[in-house]
Amino acid sequence: MTAVDEVRRIESDTAPTRFARGWHCLGLAKDFRDGKPHQVKAFGQELVVFSGDDGRLNVLDAFCRHMGGNLSQGTIKGNEIACPFHDWRWGGDGKCKAIPYARRVPLRARTASWPTLEQDNLLFVWNDPEGNPPPDDVTMPVIEGATRDDWTDWVWYTTVIEGAQCREIVDNVVDMAHFFYVHYSFPTYFKNVFEGHTATQWQKGVGREDARPQATESGVAKMIGNTSVAAYHGPSFMIDDLTYHYDDGDVESVLINCHYPISDNSFVLQYGIIVQKADHLPDPEEMARKMGDFIKIGFEQDVTIWKSKARIDNPLLCEEDGPVYQLRRWYEQFYVDVDDVTDEMTERFEFEIDTTKPNEAWRAEVAANIAARASS
Amino acid sequence: MTTPRSAPRPDVRLDDGAMERVTCTTCAARVEVRKSSWEQTSIQWHADAVGACLERRASQPGSGPNATFPGCTALDLSIREAAVRGSLSVQSGDALPVNPEGHPH
């Protein structure tokens, strides 16, 4: 007989001791192209990001192999980063190119360089604990709007999260109910598909009149709902193809939600928005900023929860919850050697949630919130 | 250099009802299915099923950065039929909602 009266205990496995294999976005490429070296703490290490005369963005281990000087405090000279300690010159390929006071560069003068990719005005770095180069088939898909004139530029947010492991944010992709409680959205359709290195979420929703009241004056478009297709391409980079439906037409936008680990208990969370400059949209830049500010509130609430929550590897789920276990099974592929990736981590899995009961409860809660506000 | 970690855990909800085998009546692909309610389904595919699925093979990549195969309509129908026939369990235990107007049979 199973003991239904028994207290359920939270179990937590040891956190991974390595960092996920995959492309990680470090931010807007232009922010690293100001002629200065940039210090980035990632994957439990210190890195230096720099761009020389050739315009290429390079990522190296921050510490000079000579006497340990921190290259991020150095100077860019030509295509190389010069160490502030003794002016040793390091190229983007990790090789020491020159030592101005030496007759020749010693053998083995090579430091760790990280594969980089610049795409859609974003800078990506490849992390692989096994040290292999990035395979072609895991590159993020191109986001067409990011480089088009009829879309806005990225509105970009960066925030450091201390005291949480980045699995917490990845869990979001399956967590339908938290979108209502934490992000003030109202999902009416929710489906996940995991396959290969991608984890996709289809979501449709309606506006929350209690959380985000609509403009009531005439001539202002009314939001009817939204359709979102969001997918993680690898362990850390999510592209959300997000369409808002207004009574005078659709507004197309793309939301990026990405992160890179600093340590096993901290990470950098970044999100960015671009909006299509539709004819019926008076100020797309303003729209992108407003979206960003709204999304920021949701993430800030996420962060508050992550910082105080327990790591839980045996979550107790109800039928109306998403596929948390299967998502984590998928996510595990990035934390083991390529040879140890099993079929069950990558095989296609579909999960569609019945939203009937959640929607009933949420409609009642929204109505109660509106009523409470009206009477106060 | 793999650090041994515990294997991914099975979904705790499978304790209340396991995945069940369903064969697609169109292509004979075999998948594992769990129906939580009439409107909620999870499907575990394997490589041979993906290979056999006709809709999957005929599917176009679609548009947008996240273009992907959303699912097979023939398989969805086979699953629904299996549930209606009673050869696939529906965890909620609700009767088949034959009349959406809310008049129970």
Tens digit of each residue's pLDDT (9 = 90 or more) over A290-305: 888 888 888 888 999 9
Please tell me the predicted confidence (pLDDT) of residue A14: 86
Q: Is B97 on the interface with A (CB under 8 A)?
A: no
Alpha carbons A87 and A74: distance in angstroms, whole number: 8
Residue B3's pLDDT is: 43
Q: What is the mean pLDDT of chain B?
A: 88
pLDDT bracket for residue B83 (50, 70, 90)? very high
pLDDT tops 60 at residue B84: yes
- pLDDT of res. A1: 46
pLDDT of residue A211: 84
User: What was the pLDDT predicted at B61?
Assistant: 73
Which token pair is A363? 């409609």
Exposed/middle/buried for residue A187 (C-beta within 10 Å: 0-12, 13-18, 19+): buried
Contact A127, A114 (CB under 8 A): yes
Q: Does residue A269 surpass a pLDDT of 70?
A: yes
Report the gap between the CA of B98 and the closest CA in chain A (Å): 16
Does the distance separating the beta carbons of A231 and B8 come in below 8 Å? Answer: no
pLDDT category of residue B100 using cuts at 50, 70 and 90: low
User: Chain B: nearest CA to A129, how far in angstroms?
Assistant: 9
Instruction: Determine which of A354, A355, A356, A357 to mutate to test the interface with B (most B C-beta atoms within 10 Å).
Output: A354
ipTM of the shown complex: 0.92
CB contact under 8 A, A315 and B12: yes
CA distance A18 to A264: 8
| Residue B105 predicted with pLDDT over 50 | no
Asked if A258 and A232 touch (Cβ cutoff 8 Å), the reply is no
Q: Identify the pLDDT of residue B64.
A: 83
| Amino acid symbol at A103 | R
Question: pLDDT tens-digit profile of A207-242?
Answer: 888 887 776 666 777 888 999 999 999 999 999 999
The backbone torsions φ and ψ at residue A300, rounded to the nearest 5 degrees and listed phi first, read -60, -35
pLDDT digits (tens, 9 = 90+) for B24-77: 999 999 999 999 999 999 999 999 999 999 999 998 877 788 988 999 999 999
Q: What is the pLDDT of residue A248?
A: 87
- CB-based contact A29:A118 (threshold 8 Å): yes
d(CA A176, CA A174): 6
Cβ-proximal residues to A340 (8 Å cutoff; 6+ apart), any chain: B2
Mean pLDDT taken over chain A: 94
**Residues near A221 by beta carbon (within 8 Å), at least 6 away in sequence:** A246, A247, A248, A249, A280
Write the pLDDT tens digit of every residue in B3-23. Answer: 456 678 999 999 999 999 999
pLDDT at A366 over 90: yes
Q: Which of residues 12-71 of B touch A (CB under 8 A)?
A: 12-13, 36-47, 50, 64-71
Q: Do B65 and A323 touch (CB under 8 A)?
A: no
Is the CB of residue A130 less than 8 Å from the CB of residue B3? Answer: no
pLDDT range class, residue A5, cuts 50, 70, 90: confident
Query: At residue A48, what is the residue type?
Result: V
Query: Residue B2 — very low, low, confident or very high, per pLDDT cuts 50/70/90?
Result: very low
User: Bigger pLDDT: A312 or A279?
Assistant: A312
Query: B26 to chain A, minimum CA–CA distance in Å?
Result: 19
Are B42 and B36 spatial neighbours (Cβ–Cβ below 8 Å)? yes
What pLDDT does residue B102 have?
54
Task: With beta carbons under 8 A apart, name residues in chain A contacting B40.
Answer: 319, 352-354
**pLDDT, position A56:** 96
pLDDT of residue A130: 97
A350·B36 Cβ contact <8 A: no
Question: What is the per-residue pLDDT across A123-148, written as a single tens digit (0 to 9) for each?
Answer: 999 999 999 999 999 999 999 999 99
- Is residue B28 classed exposed, middle or buried when 0-12, 13-18 and 19+ CB atoms within 10 A define those classes? exposed
The Cα–Cα gap between A181 and A61 comes to: 41
Q: Tell me, what's the pLDDT at A170?
A: 97
Which residues of chain B make contact with A230, given a CB cutoff of 8 A? 66
Q: Which residues, 6+ apart, have CB-to-CB distance to A298 below 8 Å?
A: A182, A183, A184, A185
Q: Which residue of B66, B68, B75 to mutate against A (max A Cβ within 10 Å)?
A: B66
Unique residue bearing structure tokens 């273009």: B67
- Cα torsion at A291, A296, A299, A300 (round to 10°)? -150
The model's pTM: 0.94
Which chain B positions have a beta carbon within 8 Å of A345's beta carbon?
8
pLDDT at B1: 41
As given in the structure block, the two tokens for residue A255 are 């939301």
A376 — pLDDT class (breaks 50, 70, 90): confident
